[in-house]
Amino acid sequence: MYNTLIVKYGEIGVKGKNRYIFENKLIKNIKNILKPLGDFKVYKEFGRIYVDLEDYDYEEVIEEVKKVFGIVGVCPAVRAEKDYNKLKELALQMLEEKIQEGAKSFKVESRRGDKSLELTSQEMSLDIGGYLVSQVKDRIAVDVRNPEVKIKCEYRQTHVMAYSDTVAGYGGLPLGTNGRAMSLLSGGIDSPVASWMVAKRGMDLECIHFHSYPFTSEKSQEKVKDLGKILAKYCGRVRLHKVNILEIQKAIGLSCKEEEMTIISRRFMMQIAERVAEKRHCDALVTGESIGQVASQTIQGLTCTNASVSIPVFRPLIAMDKTEIVDIAQKIGTFETSILPEEDCCTVFSPKKPVTKPKLDRIEMSERKLDVEKLIQDAIDNIEVEDLEF
């Protein structure tokens, strides 16, 4: 029955003179995510964005479209030539379908986009509602306050349209409208969620992953690649930079205090990520840190890691509880992969009693025992890069 999708956006609607930039980017992103399914006509008209379905399965198309950041809802609709009586017929078809699905009450909501129609929007609702009641009799009740189903009818400049359901999207802003970020991606639950949340705000993503092969296995790297591919479902192609920091961790273990291993390793990761980010024209780093979640994520620990870089560091999970983070991971499909029992570079060399309130001056004093520049450059020189697609 459905032949088009109405794409509803949120924040884009309050943009000023540059609103068209966001709309055009949103249309481009919708087309890109639908390419594996086919060549779709996606266009804007009278402040709306539409996707023509033709013979495609509307549920399959909606499942993809709703992943595009910037979209708050997708409505399967029936669109026809401009004819008021035809609009009544479309509304009846839709109501009949809802009755078959078991709906017990309904109301009609109308919008008159073409003022040449003599009826006002409210009068349209009364007229169409009366027609529907005359056709379906007592098979469904009218409830204008709390209906199970809303039949939405529109009489617009060039066409008429009827729809009822709205499938929720993720909101945010279209990908690529707010610069680029380099995300520190581990195999855990947090960093994929943090990456997704920043991408939702319109930032293009690249990822950097630190490992300690052969002390960490190839399977742990495959796990991170799988997480990157899931993110690519929302973000398009994701470039993954894989960095072996085994020699750095060995040097820290030989020259620094054991309890400082985690903080100093983290500072090295941030500095490497910053240099790769600058080379790749990224404007910020992204981490999955949350205050107090682990020893290195105390406010003192975060202060020490922040001091190692000059680029902005985004921490979208900073005040979230673990249960909140897990909920998002399950929603976006990363959770089941994140909980696979593979080791990472942080756990392999984790000290028994890590320092929880590190002093920056003491950490910097310990680092002076290391050839920091050489260790960083050697790690960067041996980076492996891979482009991931879903």
Known binding residues are 184-185, 209-210, 266, 288, 297
DSSP track, 144-183? SSS-SEEEEEEE-SSEEEEE---EE---S--TTSS-EEEE
Q: For 71-91, give one letter per residue: b (16+ CB within 10 A) or e.
A: bbbbbbbbbeeeebeebbbbb
Q: Are 110 and 125 in contact (CB under 8 A)?
A: yes
The Cα-based distances of 198 to 85, 336, 388 in angstroms read: 47, 21, 18
> Residues near 336 by Cβ (< 8 Å), separated by ≥ 6?
none
Residues whose CB is less than 8 angstroms from the CB of residue 292 and which lie 6 or more positions away in sequence, other chains included: 298
- The SS3 assignment for 384 reads strand
Write out the binding residues for ATP.
Answer: 184-185, 209-210, 266, 288, 297
- Taking the C-alpha atoms of residue 296 and residue 302, their distance in angstroms, rounded to an integer, is 7
**Which residue bears the tokens 């098979």?**
139
| 295 half-sphere exposure, CB direction, 13 A CA radius | 17
The verdict on whether omega for the bond into residue 354 sits within 30 degrees of 0, i.e. cis, is no
**What is the bridge-based pairing of β-strands 284-286 and 180-184?**
parallel
DSSP 321-348: -HHHHHHHHHHHT-HHHHTS----HHHH
| Whether the Cβ atoms of residue 187 and residue 344 lie closer than 8 Å to each other | yes
Structure tokens of 317?
Answer: 């999970």
Q: How far is CA 11 from CA 87, 179, 321, in A?
A: 30, 17, 26
